[in-house]
Every structure is written in C-alpha cells, then in structure tokens.
Amino acid sequence: MGRWQPNARERLEHAALELFVERGYESTTAAEIAERAGLAKSTFFRHFTDKREVLFGGQDALNGLFADAIAGAPAGATPVEALGAALAAMAEIFVAERHAWAHRRQAVVMGNSDLRERELLKLAALTEAMADALRRRGVPDPAASLAAELGCLAFRNAYTRWADPANDRHFADVARQELDDLMAATATLTGR
C-alpha cells in the first residue's frame, strides 16, 4: 500500500498492539508492525521514532492538554478545581472507542519492566507539566508540586480503572471520583 492510504498512524498503532499481545513486545519489530498495517517500514518511522512510541506517543500533546486545561480553569478556581478541569479535559482523548485499546496497552506495558519504567518517566513529565501550569496560575510551592502529584496519581488511577474491561463509565466520571477519593484521603491525614 502506498503512503496515500488514510489513517496510517492509527493502523500502525493497532497493528503494533496486536503484535505486542500475540508475540510480546520484545519479539516484535518495527518492520513487522508496518507489514501488519500494510505499510512500508519507512512509514512507521515517519510516525514513530521507535516501537515504544506506539504506546507512549502523544505525551507532549497530553501534557499540553493538561496544562491548557489548568490554565483555562476559572480565575477563582482552587488548585484542586483546576486539576479537576484538567482531568475532565482528558475525556476528549479517552473515549469509548479507545477503551479496548487502552486495556490492551495497559497489559503490554505492565508485562514489560522497560515499558513500566518508560511509563513512570512519562508520568513524571506529566506531573511537572501540571506543577508548572499551577505555578503560572500563582500557586506557590510546595502546594503546586503537591497538587500536581495528587493530580497525576488521580490520572494514573483513573486511567487504570477506566481501561478495565469491566468499566462502563466515562473517563471524566472515573477521574472525578478518583480525585474526590484522593482529596478525602488527604483530609484523613490531617484529621479534618
């Protein structure tokens, strides 16, 4: 198939995930992913720098979406309310059509120590993006850093719960519940 074929990136993502599940992440090559997608190997590298990026690509966009949502929260919003707005904004990415893909992706990542490490690095970058956005809103440290850590934990927990095959709730609902649960847990730490 030629370069002109539509949806090359999505086809590569789906082909890669199928192969990762069938053969394992380590046993799958970029050439095999491209072949499964019906594309040239060079097309794979136009969309992804390596096979890890099939699972983690778009992180900059995700970080930017979080930061933009925090920045766009109402002026009087507390840091937690700004984080809630950011988590709600993720619903445009984590839609029902991505649910099965997210579950399979999660299984591949959790099954490989290098990918788990990569996931932690990406989450650290997301936490820093949220902290920076909160600082730009005037939230001082350590409050901005702590809020960002809570926001990232809420995101990580929400993603895991949302990706579960038994889940039938929208991402925004799951994320809101996670953030509420974390805030309730932090209140118990202070006895309030």
Per residue, the 3-state secondary structure of 84-129, as one string, reads HHHHHHHHHCCCHHHHHHHHHHHHHHHCCHHHHHHHHHHHHHHHHH
pLDDT digit string (tens) for 90-131? Answer: 988 888 888 888 899 999 999 999 999 999 999 999 999 999
For residue 144, the SS3 value is: helix
pTM: 0.86
pLDDT of residue 7: 87
pLDDT, one tens digit per residue, over 53-71 is 988 877 778 888 999 999 9
132-144 average pLDDT score: 96
pLDDT in tens, 32-44: 999 999 999 999 9
Query: What is the residue type of 61?
Result: A
- Whether 2 has a pLDDT exceeding 50, the answer reads no
Q: Token digits for 146?
A: 């702590």
Question: Which pair of tokens denotes residue 63?
Answer: 């970080």
